[in-house]
Amino acid sequence: MAAPLVTAAVLATAMVGLAELTDATTLDESFEAGGERVIDVQMTLIAYLCATAVVIGATAVPTGRRALRRIPPVAAAVGALAPIPLVNGRATEYIGGLATDAVLAGVIVGGIAAFLLGPLGVRALIGVASHLVLLWVATLAFIGWTETVVYAGLVQPIGTTVLDDLLGDALGYHLPTLLPYALVAVAVTAALGYWFARRGASRGTAVLAATAAPILAAVLYPVVGMDLWNGKTAPVAAGVAVIGALAALAATARTKPAVPAARRS
């Protein structure tokens, strides 16, 4: 079962490296003079990237026999440890230790998720990968435009002032700039649920596959740390998971599998 190991290793290392390259994480900084507010933010993001890499690696290659289904999650979890030399090479000893712990947390949570999501097969892969694509598209778009904070499962263009001016008094400091991405993530979750159901998945399978990534993100916040900005954002991540699940349930309520054209004729 080399494929899950290699897939998870390459994906986790590539995403952690891209996070450093784009300054979504800044492991080589000292996190002083206010920078400590995003330490847990960046550690949780690293954990999330590794956890999703485990799930994708474990579900990328179908396993025929039931006895073999336990192997891909283990192999993918081992592979997702690959970013540890990278984070240690980029960071100071203290931050490197935190980042290593974050990788381990992501691998453990991702491994458990991969076992649970294994029966969903490619649907779990598509659901998790879709949310990852959304995260990276938003990250690359916003970072090139304004000051941006990237969380596990959320992107906050914190440098924008329009939303703060409109909603800041009512919603506080963080929520106005977290809200656009959160709403899009909920919409993507609902669309995924509908898409899976239209292609023959049961309602439960469709909703679980659609919400796998938001649930992973929400779980990782308390696992990694809830200090400062991470603690402020954790309820939003949980809200995306819960509201996304409800939206997916609603989207699949009356959805019937599409009938192939050959049958219609």
Per-position pLDDT tens, the chain of length 265: 689 999 999 999 999 999 999 999 999 887 766 678 899 999 999 999 999 999 999 998 776 555 567 899 999 999 999 999 999 999 888 899 999 999 999 999 999 999 999 999 999 999 999 999 999 999 999 998 899 999 999 999 987 767 666 665 545 667 889 999 999 999 999 999 999 999 999 999 999 999 999 999 999 999 999 988 999 999 999 999 999 999 999 999 977 776 554 554 4
Cβ distance 157 to 143 under 8 Å? no
What is the predicted pLDDT for the residue at 171? Answer: 56
Helices 175-198, 203-224: crossing angle, 10 deg rounding = 150
d(CA 102, CA 151): 13
Q: How many CA atoms lie within 13 A of 211 on its CB side?
A: 25
What is the predicted pLDDT for the residue at 133? Answer: 98
Query: For residue 224, how many other CB atoms are within 10 A of its CB?
Result: 27
What is the predicted pLDDT for the residue at 265? Answer: 45
In a domain, 185, yes or no: yes
d(CA 27, CA 39): 9
Number of domains in the chain: 1
What is the predicted pLDDT for the residue at 174? Answer: 79
Closest to 18 (Cα-Cα) out of 55, 67, 69, 53: 53
Which residues have CB under 8 Å from 204's CB, separation 6+?
A: none
In a domain, 14, yes or no: yes
What is the predicted pLDDT for the residue at 228? Answer: 86
Q: For residue 49, which amino acid is it?
A: L
Cβ distance 60 to 125 under 8 Å? yes
Q: For residue 221, which amino acid is it?
A: Y
Q: What are the φ and ψ backbone dihedral angles of 238, each rounded to 5 degrees?
A: -65, -40
Residue 30 belongs to domain spanning: 2-259
In a domain, 264, yes or no: no
Which residues have CB under 8 Å from 59's CB, separation 6+?
A: 72, 114, 117, 118, 120, 121, 122, 124, 125
In a domain, 224, yes or no: yes
In a domain, 130, yes or no: yes
Q: For residue 202, which amino acid is it?
A: S
In a domain, 65, yes or no: yes
In a domain, 123, yes or no: yes
In a domain, 265, yes or no: no
